[in-house]
Amino acid sequence: MFWNKETETLKGDKLEKLQIKRLKWTIKQAENIPFYKKLLNESKINAIDIQNVKDIQKLPFTKKTDLQGGYPFGFLAVQKKEIVRIHTTSGTTGKPTVVGYTKQDIENWSELIARNMTMVGLTADDTFQNAVNYGLFTGGLGFHYGAEKIGMTVIPSGTGNTKRQIEMIDDFGVTAIHCTPSYAMHLAEVAETMNTKLKTLKTGMFGAEPWSDNMRKNLESKLDLKAYDSYGMSEMYGPGAAFECQERTGLHFWHDSYLIEIIDPDTGEVLEPGQKGELVVTPLVKEAMPLLRYRTGDITMILEDECPCGRGPKIARLTGRSDDMLVIRGINVFPSQIEHVLRAIPEVGEQFMVYVDRENHLDEMTIEVEIKREFFKGELSDLEKIQKKIIHSLKEILNVRTKVSLVEPESLPRFEGKAKRVIDKRGDKL
């Protein structure tokens, strides 16, 4: 099925001609941003220098830290009065990345989500439950607008209140759902305790965290649906920049709207299709916040085989990160964020450890925190107050619920080289 067949199947010279045109426009749009104007001037590159798609390699990379350095509005290419919506992502040291959207950006994004959902067989006859966060996280409103564009009946259920979510699926005849794969497993288990089979569900769209083919099989077995993978990030608009078609042998990146490259994360060398490396993305239609060669940190590769569905090249499902970012229940968390929070609390000592595990198919993060000796010897009630203070401070910055365990000074491991403060046990349970 197609939402926009001509564009979705565009290939060869026609596709490259469109990509070059849009890349030139993006460079000119980026020149409205002081960071890029300076960078392009120093590199002595402008839109005129772009004659073919490979010329993109003349442009410098953009990193997440660059965006954070422009907080809050330093990366807007339009006047603030043209911004109709703001989303933010988590920041490595407490400051988030601010992403602005014009009316046209919202329209472009909705178009891509509509393509994704139509591609997996959804139509105006479907009832769609969007069980993700509707706040600053892009997953909620992104999928919502795309589903409404198709004409589906949309239930903006958000997260939590699992029993009520299950009742709505049954009572409203929900046929399609969007959530994190771990929350889908949780839904399945709770549904089993409620003695319901969720018989109306037929399509599940899952993303925002890594999940394996084994987890796909489990989800499809427990929920009796077809499970599809979604990829994106706020810097690209949000989820849905790439999506599986019904073949489910990789994710189609919308090449009319993004130019993608795979690079060696250490050298920056551009790699050929079939070689695994870091994904670099240049959005081609973003008005408010154009980006040039944005290093995502995600590890994948461009697949060489043509898809029977007729659409363009695909990327392999993501296999990891080139940095130390964690994804906890769909939220990006950096250990440096945790350290930033803890260092600002006077009672906290020198060391901490982070343990990530999957309990009942939901991500759980536990942080062991050394407390300074003068505070550790206090009354139990005083320690409980410190614990609550730490939990509250972490929630404010991370937007993720954490467990905190206070431990005595000098009881946690010390490291001679780079500190290895994160132990992630989820890989064994995917």
**pTM recorded for the entire structure:** 0.80
Q: Which helix (H) or strand (E) holds 68?
A: helix 64-69
Q: Report the pLDDT value the prediction gives residue 105, as an integer from 0 to 100.
A: 98
The greatest distance separating any two alpha carbons of the chain, rounded to the nearest whole angstrom, comes to 73
As for how many domains the chain has, the answer is 2
Q: Are residues 144 and 64 in the same domain?
A: yes
* Half-sphere exposure at residue 173, Cβ-oriented, CA atoms within 13 angstroms: 5
CB 210 within 8 A of CB 327: yes
Alpha-carbon gap, residue 3 to 111, rounded angstroms = 9
Specify the CATH number for the domain of residue 53. Answer: 3.40.50.12780
CA 132 vs CA 245, 302, 330, 362, 405: distances in Å: 22, 29, 9, 14, 28
Alpha-carbon gap, residue 128 to 156, rounded angstroms = 8
| Final residue belonging to a domain, choices 275, 306, 323 | 323
Q: Are residues 387 and 290 in the same domain?
A: no
Tell me the β-bridge partners of 407: 370
Q: Closest by alpha carbon to 36, among 298, 296, 294?
A: 294
Alpha-carbon gap, residue 428 to 421, rounded angstroms = 19
Q: Are residues 222 and 345 in the same domain?
A: no
Specify the CATH number for the domain of residue 421. Answer: 3.30.300.30
Q: How are beta strands 238-244 and 251-253 bridged, if at all? A: antiparallel
Token couple for 43: 């590199």
Q: Taking the chain, what is the end-to-end CA distance rounded to the nearest angstrom?
A: 31
Alpha-carbon gap, residue 157 to 176, rounded angstroms = 13
Alpha-carbon gap, residue 154 to 336, rounded angstroms = 38
| Final residue belonging to a domain, choices 303, 323, 343 | 323
Alpha-carbon gap, residue 42 to 31, rounded angstroms = 12
Q: Are residues 152 and 220 in the same domain?
A: yes
Q: Are residues 6 and 75 in the same domain?
A: yes
Alpha-carbon gap, residue 305 to 161, rounded angstroms = 43
Give residue for tokens 């699926």.
Answer: 169
Q: Report the pLDDT value the prediction gives residue 165, as an integer from 0 to 100.
A: 96
Q: Are residues 7 and 66 in the same domain?
A: yes
CB 301 within 8 A of CB 273: yes
CB 390 within 8 A of CB 369: yes
Q: Are residues 199 and 309 in the same domain?
A: yes
Alpha-carbon gap, residue 354 to 356, rounded angstroms = 7
- Domain of 383 in residue numbering reads as 328-429
Residue pLDDT tens, the chain, 430 long: 999 999 999 999 999 999 999 999 999 999 999 999 999 999 999 999 999 999 999 999 999 999 989 999 999 999 999 999 999 986 544 578 999 999 999 999 999 999 999 999 999 999 999 999 898 889 899 999 999 999 999 999 998 899 999 999 999 999 999 998 878 988 998 999 999 999 999 999 998 877 778 779 889 999 999 999 999 999 999 999 999 999 999 999 999 999 999 999 989 999 999 999 999 999 999 999 999 999 999 989 999 999 999 999 999 998 667 677 788 888 878 787 887 788 889 999 878 899 999 887 789 999 999 998 888 876 778 899 999 999 999 998 888 889 999 998 889 886 544 457 888 888 655 5
Q: Are residues 315 and 333 in the same domain?
A: no
The backbone torsions φ and ψ at residue 370, rounded to the nearest 5 degrees and listed phi first, read -70, 140
Q: Are residues 195 and 267 in the same domain?
A: yes
321 three-state secondary structure: strand
Give residue for tokens 């607008």.
Answer: 145
286 Cβ contact partners less than 8 Å away, ≥ 6 residues apart: 26, 29, 105, 108, 237
Name the amino acid, one letter, at 146.
G
CB 177 within 8 A of CB 205: yes
Q: Report the pLDDT value the prediction gives residue 91, as an integer from 0 to 100.
A: 52
Q: Are residues 297 and 419 in the same domain?
A: no
Q: Are residues 117 and 176 in the same domain?
A: yes
Q: How are beta strands 176-179 and 153-155 bridged, if at all? A: unpaired
Token couple for 236: 């690209």
Give residue for tokens 């070689």.
Answer: 275
DSSP-assigned letters across all residues of 73-113: TTT-SS-GGG--EEEEE--TTSPPEEEEE-HHHHHHHHHHH
| Final residue belonging to a domain, choices 291, 323, 355 | 323
Q: Are residues 347 and 254 in the same domain?
A: no
178 Cβ contact partners less than 8 Å away, ≥ 6 residues apart: 128, 129, 130, 131, 132, 139, 143, 204, 205, 206, 230
* Half-sphere exposure at residue 49, Cβ-oriented, CA atoms within 13 angstroms: 14
